[in-house]
């Protein structure tokens, strides 16, 4: 496709495709799908789109925007990634590359979560004004689509449209084409402060570099230790759930997360127990805001990943005791090198760290692998 637009910061893929249509003066939805994806059945998805290899191909001349970069910088994926198991994170990314048939939402638990993405378009009028001044046009920013948190981290309350993007499955609406009305809010100043905190923390999570997810066990240990560190423990391992509720309840600002303290299975109790399933970003962030409001998202994730670490030293002789993490890192490196030349991959944010890790822990494999793949170029 000629003159395919380059994504703006935080621009959703959905928005990019809409702008591509406008640029090429394509008015038929089917024709636009044909031109961009070579497939008329692709569904216009705001938050977790698939077929990203086609988008990456359209951008090949920029020398940037491999699939991983598109996923991490231009979709809502990063708001789910740290909270699901690593195997799910990898599989979801693989699905987003090609035809996913809706399974990405299921994998990441979006439909089952009590925290939901709005079905309607949202905009921040102040951001729109800034975009127009800077770029001469407006676009859909992913920061306006935080599930259950319609709030711009920079400017505050958003405007909302009565139009749902589910109304037309194959049509991409550009930001400037949709009318939005201001959200009428009767929240108190204190509640708004908390919403602003959550939106900013969510932005931090969205901007974390691509990395392995902590395990559910690491999350469980993290919350158990947190409770004990802050005097909400009973004995050595038990949790005083009533004390936790006292601290957290005042921080809950979204009706979806309201807690019925009488119920043994409310989400706040279960997040402090053994994690059997992933929780949504907003549940995590609400707890963080009560206990560790000063800690950055990246410090928190680092702390979580430090739990339950078994350090084993290797030599060639016991390479058969390969821990799972090696295989995981190998898989990630293979995945990356599948699409990106080695030299370039090392310069990518997550790629450099991955290379360094493999070099330290799995050197023979890495060098063998790279030798084979370099010669194929």
Measured between its terminal Cα atoms, the distance across the chain in Å is: 26
Closest approach of Zn ion to the CB of residue 183, in Å: 13
Closest approach of Zn ion to the CB of residue 295, in Å: 25
Q: Evaluate the CA torsion angle 164, 78, 39, 172 in order and state its sign.
A: positive
Name the residue nearer to Zn ion (CB basis): 127 or 336. Answer: 127
Closest approach of Zn ion to the CB of residue 126, in Å: 5
Name the residue nearer to Zn ion (CB basis): 29 or 161. Answer: 161
Both tokens of 87, joined, read 């195997």
Q: Which residues contact 6 (CB under 8 A, 6 or more apart)?
A: 59, 62
Name the residue nearer to Zn ion (CB basis): 155 or 373. Answer: 155
Closest approach of Zn ion to the CB of residue 15, in Å: 15
Name the residue nearer to Zn ion (CB basis): 127 or 205. Answer: 127
Closest approach of Zn ion to the CB of residue 158, in Å: 8
Residues that bind Zn ion (CB under 5 A): 124, 126-127, 152, 154-155
Helix intervals (H) in the chain: 13-23, 29-37, 52-58, 67-74, 86-97, 103-107, 125-135, 189-206, 216-229, 241-248, 267-271, 281-291, 297-305, 324-339, 342-347, 349-361, 363-375
Name the residue nearer to Zn ion (CB basis): 79 or 158. Answer: 158
Q: Evaluate the CA torsion angle 171, 39, 2, 336 in order and state its sign.
A: positive
Closest approach of Zn ion to the CB of residue 287, in Å: 26
Report the distance separating Cα 33 and Cα 47, nearest Å: 18
Name the residue nearer to Zn ion (CB basis): 154 or 328. Answer: 154
């Amino acid at each position: 496709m000629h003159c395919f637009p380059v994504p703006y910061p935080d621009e959703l893929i959905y928005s990019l495709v809409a702008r591509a249509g406008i640029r090429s003066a394509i008015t038929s939805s089917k024709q636009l799908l044909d031109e961009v994806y070579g497939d008329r059945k692709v569904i216009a998805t705001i938050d977790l789109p698939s077929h990203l290899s086609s988008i990456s191909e359209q951008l090949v001349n920029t020398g940037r925007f491999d699939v991983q970069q598109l996923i991490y910088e231009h979709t809502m994926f990063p708001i789910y990634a740290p909270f699901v198991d690593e195997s799910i994170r990898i599989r979801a990314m693989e699905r987003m590359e090609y035809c996913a048939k809706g399974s990405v939402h299921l994998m990441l638990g979006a439909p089952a979560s009590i925290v939901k993405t709005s079905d309607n378009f949202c905009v921040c009028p102040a951001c729109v004004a800034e975009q127009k001044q800077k770029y001469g046009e407006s676009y859909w920013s992913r920061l306006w689509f935080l599930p259950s948190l319609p709030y711009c981290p920079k400017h505050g309350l958003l405007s909302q449209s009565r139009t749902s993007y589910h109304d037309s499955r194959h049509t991409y609406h550009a930001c400037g084409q949709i009318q939005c009305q201001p959200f009428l809010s009767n929240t108190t100043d204190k509640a708004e402060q908390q919403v602003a905190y959550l939106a900013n923390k969510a932005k931090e999570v969205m901007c974390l570099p691509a990395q392995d997810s902590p395990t559910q066990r690491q999350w469980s240990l993290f919350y158990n230790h947190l409770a004990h560190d802050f005097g909400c423990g009973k004995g050595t391992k038990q949790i005083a759930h009533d004390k936790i509720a006292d601290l957290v309840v005042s921080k809950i600002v979204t009706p979806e997360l309201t807690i019925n303290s009488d119920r043994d299975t409310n989400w706040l109790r279960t997040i402090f127990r053994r994690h059997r399933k992933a929780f949504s970003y907003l549940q995590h962030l609400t707890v963080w805001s009560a206990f560790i409001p000063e800690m950055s998202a990246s410090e928190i994730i680092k702390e979580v990943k430090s739990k339950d670490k078994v350090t084993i030293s290797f030599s060639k002789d016991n390479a058969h005791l390969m821990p799972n993490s090696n295989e995981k890192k190998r898989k990630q490196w293979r995945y990356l090198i599948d699409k990106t030349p080695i030299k370039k991959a090392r310069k990518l944010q997550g790629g450099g760290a991955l290379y360094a890790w493999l070099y330290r822990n799995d050197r023979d494999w890495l060098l063998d692998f790279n030798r084979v793949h370099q010669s194929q170029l």
